[in-house]
């Protein structure tokens, strides 16, 4: 089953934005690292249900502007301070690729990603971007190894995550598209049950994430 891996928030000052958020809610956050191939860097806030928030900013505009990664392209088009995307975690990305090929579902990727941790070790992942002509979609991510901090002080308590994903499209039709593309279980009206929370497909123009009863 898929899980809600993380949300991406654009900002010109990732560290400052993360500190404002964690200070306001009494949470613990941490620096992430640089993505040299994309010209970006991030700050992070992790939660016990294997979900995290990523504040993503640009360090090298020329590198970012030439990136073929759809997330970086979207980031450059959106305003800062916006939740621009969510990632759904899978351990079977190759199965999804084969499924998309069989079903004629358009996609980009997989795109490899990596960054160096503070201890010098290399963290790696892959990203896959399915697409549909009618609705915007989350992307899939598959990790190589564990991306969570080894020190539990950086993991905040949280039991469940709920995401409302705005599609600007009629909800029932959009939900059927999501079910087909992500092979989701039967919709538990009005949300899809995932490994660590619920995914709600809406007609709104925004992505909203609830941490228990806390709205970002």
pLDDT digit string (tens) for 64-113? 999 999 999 999 988 777 888 999 999 999 999 999 999 999 999 999 99
Looking at the domain assignment, is residue 47 inside a domain?
Answer: yes
Into how many domains does the chain fold?
1
Looking at the domain assignment, is residue 161 inside a domain?
Answer: no
User: Where residue 65 sits, what CATH number does that domain have?
Assistant: 3.10.180.10
User: Which band of pLDDT confidence, cut at 50, 70 and 90, is reported for residue 189?
Assistant: low
Nearest to 96 by CA among 137, 124, 135: 137
Instruction: Tally the C-alpha atoms within 13 A of residue 37's C-alpha that lie toward its C-beta.
Output: 10
Looking at the domain assignment, is residue 123 inside a domain?
Answer: yes
Q: What's the count of helices (H) and strands (E) in the chain, helices before strands?
A: 5, 14
pLDDT value at 213 more than 70: no
End-to-end CA distance of the chain: 25
Name, in order, each residue with C-beta under 8 angstroms of 60's C-beta and a sequence gap of 6 or more: 36, 39, 40
pTM: 0.94
pLDDT value at 13 more than 90: yes
β-strand 51-58 against 3-10: which pairing, if any? parallel
C-alpha span between 198 and 189 (Å, rounded): 10
Looking at the domain assignment, is residue 44 inside a domain?
Answer: yes
Looking at the domain assignment, is residue 57 inside a domain?
Answer: yes
**How confident is the model over 130-149, as pLDDT tens digits?**
999 999 999 999 999 999 99
Looking at the domain assignment, is residue 204 inside a domain?
Answer: no
Looking at the domain assignment, is residue 197 inside a domain?
Answer: no
Looking at the domain assignment, is residue 189 inside a domain?
Answer: no
Q: Which of 115-124, 182-191, 195-204 has the lowest mean pLDDT?
A: 182-191
Query: Is the model more confident about 178 or about 215?
Result: 178
- 138 sits in the region (left: phi over 0; alpha: psi -120 to 50; else beta) called beta
Residues 39, 67 contacting (CB under 8 angstroms) = yes
Question: Where are the strands (E) in the chain, listed by range?
Answer: 3-10, 30-35, 40-47, 51-58, 83-89, 107-116, 122-130, 139-144, 155-156, 161-166, 191-194, 197-202, 207-211, 214-215
Structural domain of residue 26, as residue ranges? Answer: 3-154
């Amino acid at each position: 089953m898929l899980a809600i891996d993380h949300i991406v928030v654009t900002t010109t000052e990732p560290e400052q934005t993360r500190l404002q958020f964690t200070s306001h809610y009494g949470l613990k956050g941490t620096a992430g690292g640089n993505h040299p191939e994309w010209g970006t860097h991030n700050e992070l806030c992790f939660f016990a249900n294997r979900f995290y928030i990523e504040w993503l900013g640009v360090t090298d505009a020329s590198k970012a502007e030439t990136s073929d990664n759809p997330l970086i392209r979207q980031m450059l088009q959106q305003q800062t301070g916006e939740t621009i995307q969510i990632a759904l975690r899978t351990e079977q990305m190759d199965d999804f690729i084969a499924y998309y090929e069989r079903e004629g579902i358009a996609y980009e990727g997989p795109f490899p990603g990596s960054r160096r941790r503070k201890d010098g070790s290399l963290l790696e992942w892959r990203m896959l971007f399915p697409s549909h002509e009618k609705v915007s979609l989350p992307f899939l991510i598959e990790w190589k190894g564990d991306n969570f901090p080894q020190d539990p002080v950086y993991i905040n308590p949280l039991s469940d995550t709920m995401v409302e994903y705005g599609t600007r499209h009629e909800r029932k039709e959009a939900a059927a598209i999501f079910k087909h593309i992500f092979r989701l279980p039967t919709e538990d009206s009005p949300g899809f049950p995932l490994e660590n929370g619920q995914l709600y497909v809406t007609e709104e123009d925004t992505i909203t994430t609830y941490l228990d009863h806390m709205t970002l």
